[in-house]
Amino acid sequence: MVNVIGLGYIGLPTALMMASHGVEVVGTNHSQGKVDMLKAGKTTFEEDGLDELFQAALDGGIQFTTEYQVADVYIVSVQTPYDKFTKKVEMQYVTAAIGDVLKVAPKGAIIVVESTVSPGSIDKYVRPYVTEKGFKIGEDIHLVHAPERIIPGNMIYELLHNDRTIGADDPDIGEKIKVLYATFCGGNIVVTDIKTAEMTKVVENTFRAVNIAFANELAKICRHDGMDVYEIIKICNMHPRVNILQPGPGVGGHCISVDPWFLVGDYPSLAKVIDESMKTNDSMPDFVLNRIYEIMKEKGMTDITRVGLYGLTYKENVDDMRESPTLQLLESQERHLATGLKVYDPYITNDVVPNQYHDLSEFLNAVDFVIIMVKHNEIKGNMERLADKVVLDCHNICSLPGVYHI
Ligand code: SAJ
């Protein structure tokens, strides 16, 4: 039996996927509210195909509880935030979950950490913790790190098809976990050691962060000299060995905007390019705010309450707002003691910020200037409704005449 600990963005789909592929699964979460919701047959966030997968997992007998179970394998997928000051990973949720696992785990059980951790974290935080509790690693308990790789918006497909990495002390234990993941994963599954697995995960997200930063820096250079960054990127990408990503209003989510900081925190004198890249990405919401003021000045607009941000989530077609560029921009505006921007996002139905709208028409009636912060399909399908507005398009999706870009 597999006990999945932490039923968030990664734990829930992973638990459902295993249960729908013939594995006996119990999902554990400390929040009674979340467990009640799942028991009532409701998923806790929106993701394409999640409801269907949920039904298949229910048919496969999945159960939800707040209690830790006696199981052969534990999959820990709890959050790993980072300390904003030291930039180091915070492991307390992982160690707390492992502490609770150890209270019930039978001899020889395998603990798989799926949460993203910085390289060396299992050595530094988990091993001493398990040993102090009186368990002999490799005999009483086995440790594995199997970092997740799925992208919100396409999670179900990627769970089924992405290659995976399994880091284990003992290759036989690694192979056992490989067999478990192969019940649903059609990609290649590489077995390696734990520290290598930790590093690969952080490096993958860092690669993307640095490449997005490069695109953002190009956008700033082109803005400075009146060049069209999109045209330049398009032409450069026709070169067979060039593949530049897209600039945007900032980098959000709990992965690309967080994980690279682990390397900066652990290797401050070495991770220079990464440090600068993260700073560049973090500067983008402010860059957009300056563009808003610049355009208002150019257009002779003075009333900030007639300006609206379209999109609150960290990227398109998801309901996840963690570290979102729009939230960062609003915070920055507050720090400058200037508020009043209107906000709307079709995926955020509860009130999370002031001046928030829940209906596209009402939002559009209330503003003269729209900033496209997120390229949700909704706005792509409603572009003509922006025809009488001033538009700052942070994603180059709007072909109306006179549109501004970052
Ligand atoms: N973004 C840009 N320009 C781009 C691409 C993205 O500005 O060209 C922005 C997005 O708008 C968003 C942020 O970057 O704000 C991150 O979005 P994303 O779609 O690049 O990635 P995430 O954070 O949703 O998921 C990433 C993925 N990692 C990689 O692609 C290397 C995913 O595979 C990981 O599983 C996930 O992080 C994670 O959980 O670690």
**What separation in Å is there between the alpha carbon of 278 and the centre of ligand 1?**
13
List the domain boundaries for the chain. Answer: 2-192, 204-405
The answer as to CATH 3.40.50.720 being correct for domain 204-405 is yes
pLDDT digits (tens, 9 = 90+) for 333-347: 887 766 799 999 999
- 398 is an active site residue: no
Is the CB of 13 within 6 Å of ligand 1? Answer: no
Please check whether residue 284 is in contact with residue 395, taking contact to mean a CB–CB distance below 8 angstroms.
no
* Equal fold, 2-192 vs 204-405: yes
Structure tokens at 1: 């039996």
pLDDT digits (tens, 9 = 90+) for 366-395: 999 999 999 999 999 999 999 999 999 999
Q: End-to-end distance of the chain based on CA atoms, in angstroms? A: 51
Active site residue 88: no
Query: Which fold does the domain 2-192 belong to in CATH?
Result: Rossmann fold (3.40.50)
According to the model, what pLDDT value does residue 317 have?
Answer: 95
**Residues of the chain above pLDDT 90, percent:** 95
**Concatenated DSSP letters for 101-116?**
HHHHPPTTEEEEE-S-
pLDDT of residue 89: 86
Helix (H) or strand (E) holding 393: strand 390-393
Q: Would you say the CB of residue 244 lies under 6 angstroms from ligand 1?
A: no
Report the 3 state secondary structure along 48-80.
CCHHHHHHHHHHCCCEEECCCCCCCEEEECCCC
pLDDT tens, position by position, 13-43:
999 999 999 999 999 999 999 999 999 999 9
Question: pLDDT for 131-145, tens place per residue?
Answer: 999 999 999 999 999
Strand partners, 82: 89
Residue located nearest, by CA, to atom 37 of ligand 1: 255
What is the pLDDT at residue 337?
A: 61
**236-290 per-position pLDDT tens digit:** 999 999 999 999 999 999 899 999 999 999 999 999 999 999 999 999 999 999 9
**Rounded mean pLDDT, 203-229:** 98
Marked catalytic residue, from 178, 185, 222, 255: 255
Q: Give pLDDT tens digits for 50-88.
A: 999 999 999 999 999 999 999 999 999 999 988 888 878
152 alpha carbon – ligand 1 mean position (Å): 8
Cα 398 to ligand 1 centroid, rounded to whole Å: 22
